[in-house]
Amino acid sequence: MLRAALVIARKDLRLTAGRSAGLAQAAALGLLLIFLFSLSLVPGQRMSAQGASAVFWMASAFCQVIIFGMLYGYEGGKGQKQGLLLAPIPVQSIWLGKALAGVAMLACAQALFLPASIIFLGQELGPAWKAGLVVIFICDAGIAVAGSLTGALAHGQTGKESLLSILVFPLLVPLFLGGIRVGSSAFGGSGEAIGDWLGICLAFDAVFTAAALPLFPFAYSTDE
Amino acid sequence: MKDEAILKRTAGERVFRLISPMALIAGLALTLCWVLIFVYAPRESTLGLPQKIFYLHLPLAWWAMSGFFLTFAAGIVYLRTGKEQWDAAAAASTEVSLVFACSAVISGSIWARASWSVWWTWDARLTTALIMCFVYAGGLILRSMDMPPARRARICAVFGIVAFLDVPLVFFSARLWSYIHPPSISLEPEMKLTLAVCLAAFAPLWFCLAALRMKLDLDERRFDALRAERLSREERRSR
Amino acid sequence: MLLRLRDIARFYGRRLVFSDISLDLSRGEVLMLCGPNGAGKSTLLNIMAGLVRPSSGTVLCNGELRIGMVGHHSCVYAELSALENLRFWAGLHGLRLSDKELTGMLEHMHLAAFAHEKAGTFSRGMTQRLDLARAFTVNPDMLLLDEPASGLDEASLAVLRDETAAAAGRGAGVVLITHRPGELSFSACRVALLENKRLRLYDDFDAFRHRSSEERAC
């Protein structure tokens, strides 16, 4: 399963690299959001650490929607999807492959969002930033695991269904709350209870992985 | 022949016969509730009259959550069996429970205003209920989307399952986010009895609404199937 | 025996596409599936592939089959080169093929000169050839081809015939849909005619031709 997932992830990243508009579009949207929120500040004023962290995660959330829309869009023609489903691999490896590609792309985008938040929102890295990075990664993993499932749900014939990926935002609330709190302490806010948040984020990852494994075949099939 | 399956009434649908008696029971039980709430239960000393909201708020939230659990369970059964009845059950349960959950959030907000003099507070339970309202409202929008019916049913089932699994995560994260506990109220025995009756009284109400909705949904599907059958018969004859 | 269909029926909505279809496919066999437009040939092929569930009836297959399928919709990723496309599908099927082997396959399909071109720039015929190359590369137990001849020139048609025969020679069961059976005649093949919601089987191509000319006469 892992081998097939890696083959799929590699193919998707290769496709993304070849397409100039792809990831750039997602990153641009996120950067724009961060910049727009910097307008809420009077010149010289700094945004609170928690505020900046919230903006950072909001940018990531919208980025996620575009990323998974794009990743499942690669099998937009019916033929490619049939090909994947006919291959002698567990269907779940498609989910895992897309999640792996997604987490890599999200991390790339966040590598831009992080300095952008620091510059535009007047933040500094606090002492807890290393732990913060770890939690960001765990949150990203959760976003990818859930996003890969909902991306498969949203993947379909009509553009209307793409709205679906936004409908699932509330499902990600536990991750966002965790990400915002930990991000806030990484930006030099009060550093409390990172361990607890780590637990919740890990639980989220585990629950969504456990749910996606049996549910994905129903979300991604050709038999209508 | 999947489509014809919907035309047959299943044995499980005998449960719809319970709608009328249950409605009667619900009416009587709710009347009893009002009497208990306003006549029997003592007036709480610090909060006064607004405390009575509690007797409605708790059953609403309770049965909303139970309903969401039924959506979850019906989704699993639908994915296993592919029977449309379970899809209809999940749909009905989502709709009714969403109404209950929204009412619970609104009544909770009024309660918050009366007791903590703010309309909203980051209480874990309140937040969880609100997020669940968002999630399941999204679920309803999903149902109204234009897709092949089998795909829609499958997507909604997956969504219902994932959404329910999310509930405890939302609850714990909201609690960690802001650790405010509503002061635990010591209940008088009369209050406890009133609350128990209210909790019980909302069950037949929930059942009636959900069963009616499910019956309507199934009838709609049957109507569509019959109409399609008739159209194709006419088409064949005209050829 | 590779695949066994028993009493298959399929509805779309309330429209019956076909019913009472029973069919065995054995190793090394080529089955030609013919029939008028809309008879449900592609649907039947999809049922064999396991992509579409029959409304009733059973599909039995002999263990996990590796399926090479070329359907109506191309599997080609427009933004990968021809070589990358093949490499991906081979990798997904767990085959570690060197670039040389893959290029050899492309050469076979007269695509070697375009190995590093993006597949999106290909013409319809070239895309079809790349799809065929993919199906042959994955070394299938069962080869399902839906009008494989469409868009192919004479030279490619000959390659298609050879490769299909070679795959059957290696023990693969082949089902191919065609509108013009004469175009792709194989010496040893059964013919299945899907017409009026039923399937009729003929033991070889001559029997089919003979029969169908008789029918056409009356």
Number of domains, chain B: 1
Domain C1-66+141-218 falls under CATH 2.70.150.10: no
The single residue listed with the structure tokens 């952008």 is A116
The C-alpha of B8 sits at a distance from chain A's nearest C-alpha, in angstroms, of: 22
Q: Where are the alpha helices (DSSP H) in chain A?
A: 2-18, 21-38, 49-73, 78-86, 92-120, 129-154, 164-167, 173-186, 194-219
Domain coverage including residue B216: 18-39+50-225
Residue B234 contacts C where some CB pair is shorter than 8 Å: no
What's the whole-model pTM score?
0.87
- Partner residues linked to B171 by β-bridges: none
User: Please, are residues C191 and C204 in contact by the beta-carbon 8 Å criterion?
Assistant: yes
Q: Model confidence over B132-161: pLDDT tens digits?
A: 899 999 888 888 887 788 888 998 999 999
Give me the mean pLDDT over the B94-104 stretch: 94
Residue extent(s) of CATH 3.40.50.300 domains in chain C = 1-66+141-218
Q: Give the pLDDT band (50/70/90) at residue C188.
A: low
Domain contains B74: yes
Task: Give the three-class secondary structure for C200.
Answer: strand
The whole-number pLDDT of residue A50 equals 85
Interface mutation vs chain B, best among A72, A149, A167, A196, most B CBs within 10 Å: A167
How many Å from the N-terminal Cα to the C-terminal Cα in chain C?
Answer: 37
Q: For the CA atoms of chain B, what is the radius of gyration? A: 21
Phi first, then psi: give them for residue C171, nearest 5 degrees: 105, 10
The CA distance from A6 to C91, in Å, is 10
Choose among B139, B162, B172: nearest Cβ to A211: B162
Check pLDDT > 90 for residue C12: no
In the A/C pair of chains, how many CB contacts fall below 8 A? 67
| Average confidence (pLDDT) over C134-154 | 88
pLDDT in tens, C152-175: 888 888 888 888 888 888 888 999
Alpha helices in C3-98 (DSSP H): 41-49, 82-92
Kindly identify which residue of chain C lies nearest to residue A4, measuring between CA atoms.
C92
Model ipTM value = 0.85
Indicate whether C110 pLDDT > 90.
Answer: no
Task: Indicate yes or no: CB of A207 within 8 angstroms of CB of B151.
Answer: no
Looking at residue B167, what is its pLDDT? 87
CA dist A9 → A1, A2, A145, A218 (Å):
12, 10, 14, 21
Rounded-to-integer distance, Cα A52 and Cα A34, Å = 9
Question: For residue C208, what are the CA distances in angstroms to A105, B171, B216, B229?
Answer: 56, 69, 53, 36
In tens, the pLDDT along C53-100 reads 888 888 888 777 889 999 888 889 988 999 999 999 999 998 888 889
Task: Tell me which residues of chain A, numbers 97 to 156, contact chain B at a CB-CB cutoff of 8 Å.
Answer: 146, 149, 153, 156
Asked if A193 and B176 come within 8 Å (Cβ–Cβ), the reply is: yes
pLDDT recorded at residue B169: 87
